[in-house]
A and B are shown apart, each in its own frame.
Chain A
Amino acid sequence: KLTEGMLNRSGPKTQPWGTPLLTGHQSDLTPFTTTLWAQPSNHFFTQRSVCPSKPRAASFGRRMLWETLSKENAGSCLATVLYRRTKSSPVVNIKCMHTKDQKQVQEEDNRLYQKIRHQTKPIIGNNIPDSYGHIEPALEPAWALAVTGSSYMMWEKSTESLGYFLAQVKSVKQWIRKDDFIEFDYTVLLHEVPTQEIISCHMRLTWLPGHPLKVKYFCASENQGLEDGSGMESGSAAGILHGKGANF
């Protein structure tokens, strides 16, 4: 369900000769409940010679690799998405492998949550990591959540020709709430490829283990207003489909 929703969000563009996209991140502390990031790999043409400005390929395909976040071996799903120029629905093939059980996942999420809740003062920080790649241990939980939230943002923003990486968390400020939710306000820098631009985004994130991560963001280069991250389902991609795995 979730997968198809995300697919429907962005359709094929007319200039497929652009770039491969690399989007996504992995961190030891990112909560399991936040779901997917996409790592589309090289697009390929089915026809051998193509003039870049006038593609004559009858179809082109784009592999997208979706993986659940957080610790290695948490589980991963591999999805192939084949867009056809005929504009029919893309063909999706998903294969998931879980190596961690839900209980373990929940426990680790809770540990992260408790770590943040036990801070005596609201978390505030700048430049994470710093210029030298160092992350203050006290800021690691906030960074982990930023990674998670950013991955959603980057997924939303990425297209056939634009991909993203999280370059740096410029600032983080925790908002203390009366309820049990954790709330952070971030300024993050995204590295955009292939343009090589550094995009500054403002991100507001709320989280409670067992609940979908809520992400609201606004990036400086955009003209639109505040973008709502739709709530995400917990765990990995909804609907584990064991299709015939494509060769990668």
Chain B
Amino acid sequence: MRGLVLLAALVAAAAGTETFVGHQVLRIIPTSDEELQKVQELQDLEELQLDFWLAPRGLGHPVDVRVPFPSLQPLKAHLEANGVSYSIMIEDVQELLDQEQMEMLRGRRQMPITTNTFNYASYHSLDEIYTFMDLLVAENPNLVSKLEIGRSTENRPLYVLKFSKGGTNRPAVWIDTGIHSREWVTQASGVWFAKQIVLDHENDKDLASVLDKMDIFLEIVTNPDGFAFTQTQNRMWRKTRSKQSGSICVGVDPNRNWDAGFGGSGASGNPCSETYHGPYANSEPEVKAIVDFVKNHGNIKAFVSIHSYSQLLLYPYGYTRTPVPDQKELHEVSAKAVAALSSLYGTNYKYGSIITTIYQASGGTIDWTYNQGIKYSFTFELRDTGRYGFLLPAKQIVPTAQETWLALKVLMLHARDHLN
């Protein structure tokens, strides 16, 4: 936020309209109702030309105000006379602007510089996540590579990170997050998983043993068009952004577009519906890209598609009540995975087949992958159970990712132990 304001100021300064020499930014933290009132009153003193970077919100909340040089003495005297304490956050705004300008001219952007300075406990834009991927690859070229498996409807690249210790076409684990764009904790968790694999690939014996035999593929933003739309237009957007002929409505539910019971009960034929299955299976490039990848790879052994919310671990089928042949094994592995997940923070998960645990859903991802022969096909529904739903507070991102990772490791280890 401050960066933006400084930038705006810089532009103004560059245009020769404003200079901030001698301006200071003061911080006031009101601790009593009187103090708060005094600070609120400052907002009405137009002649001081105060610029509130953080407006008064309430007791204990910092108030940041940029004070033009001529107003400094009067304002400070006023504050001191009224017993309002303050600190000087920025001694000279112009100096800071000059510094920033130098940095900008050196070509550095407001992006994270390394994956160590990346903030995993906050939600990021598509650009920031794509930048993160490139940084991760650049920092770990022997372990991580980035593949483009296709393009979205709006021509955004579909990137998959590959984690591999070598070999050729090793058996692999696939993990995708963000197929439904409004489920923000999933993309955020995907970013965290990527970093975690890099951090732990040698010292965590479980992960190391998985990577000794298998590759891990991770698609963090599986639906980038939808994701961009949730950032700019509609936070609650779920589907892709493909135009539907004969309708004003946009988008297909990418988790109803797979060729497994496609078009059956558990999806909608109405383009305006959130569960619209699309005109035909794999009509969505986001889905087709994964289908092609899986078929071409031919050696994927475990497939995990991550959603939110509800706190569930699910295995096929969603489109039919017929249990999968491997039901018993998948149920047992799920129990172990959920136990591992809960062990960290006590988060409660239920598990079972899609149709018996939530509802009938046709054309779903893991029904298709299972029918392709990928036995260990699972879907997660991450935190929470409805308190915040899609709008999960950022401070829950890391705990969610941490506990989910424990469950993922159980699944990956099981797959590794059952390679034939």
Contact = CB atoms under 8 A, between A and B. Distances in A.
A198 interface: yes
Interface string A147-174: 0000000000000000001111000000
B358 A20 contact: yes
Interface residues of A, number: 32
B39 to A, nearest CB: 13
Interface string A112-136: 0000000000000000011111101
A192 B153 CA distance: 27
Given A193-B359, A194-B361, A165 B392 contact: no
A182 B342 CA distance: 41
B365 interface: no
B391 interface: yes
B147 to A, nearest CB: 30
Contacts of A166: 386, 389
Interface string B355-369: 011111100000000
A85 B359 CA distance: 22
B114 to A, nearest CB: 23
Report, as a range, how many residues of chain B touch the other chain: 35 or more
Which of B61, B357, B391, B396: most chain A CB closer than 10 A? B391
B396 A196 contact: no
B235 interface: yes
B273 A195 contact: yes
B268 to A, nearest CB: 8
Nearest to A24: B386
Nearest to B310: A22
Contacts of A42: 356-357
Interface string A24-46: 11110000000000000010000
B274 A136 contact: no
Chain B contact residues: helix, strand, loop or mixed: loop
A77 to B, nearest CB: 19
B109 interface: no
A40 to B, nearest CB: 13
A191 interface: yes
Contacts of B413: none
A165 B394 contact: no
A242 B359 CA distance: 32
B387 A137 contact: no
B238 interface: yes
A25 B386 contact: yes
Which of B122, B388, B396: most chain A CB closer than 10 A? B388
A94 B179 CA distance: 41
A52 interface: yes
A138 interface: yes
Interface in B382-416: 385-394, 396
Interface in B75-96: none
A210 interface: no
A45 to B, nearest CB: 10
A137 B58 contact: yes
B275 A167 contact: no
A132 B275 contact: no
B393 A133 contact: yes
Contacts of B243: none
A142 interface: no
Given A165-B386, A194-B359, A195-B273, A129 B391 contact: yes
Contact of B391 (A18, A133, A197): A133
B387 A26 contact: yes
Contacts of B391: 129-133, 167-168
B57 interface: yes
A46 to B, nearest CB: 15
B130 interface: no
A232 interface: no
B265 interface: yes
Contact of B358 (A24, A189, A194): A194
A134 B394 contact: yes
B253 interface: yes
B131 to A, nearest CB: 19
Nearest to A134: B393
Contacts of A129: 388, 391, 393
Closest 3 CB pairs of A and B: A133-B393, A196-B274, A19-B359
Interface of A: 17-20, 22, 24-27, 42, 52, 129-134, 136-138, 165-168, 189, 191, 193-198
Given A19-B358, A196-B253, 5 more contacts: A27-B387, A131-B184, A138-B57, A167-B390, A195-B275
18 contacts: A18-B359, A22-B386, A26-B387, A52-B321, A129-B391, A131-B391, A132-B393, A133-B393, A133-B396, A136-B57, A167-B389, A168-B236, A189-B236, A194-B275, A195-B268, A196-B238, A196-B253, A198-B274
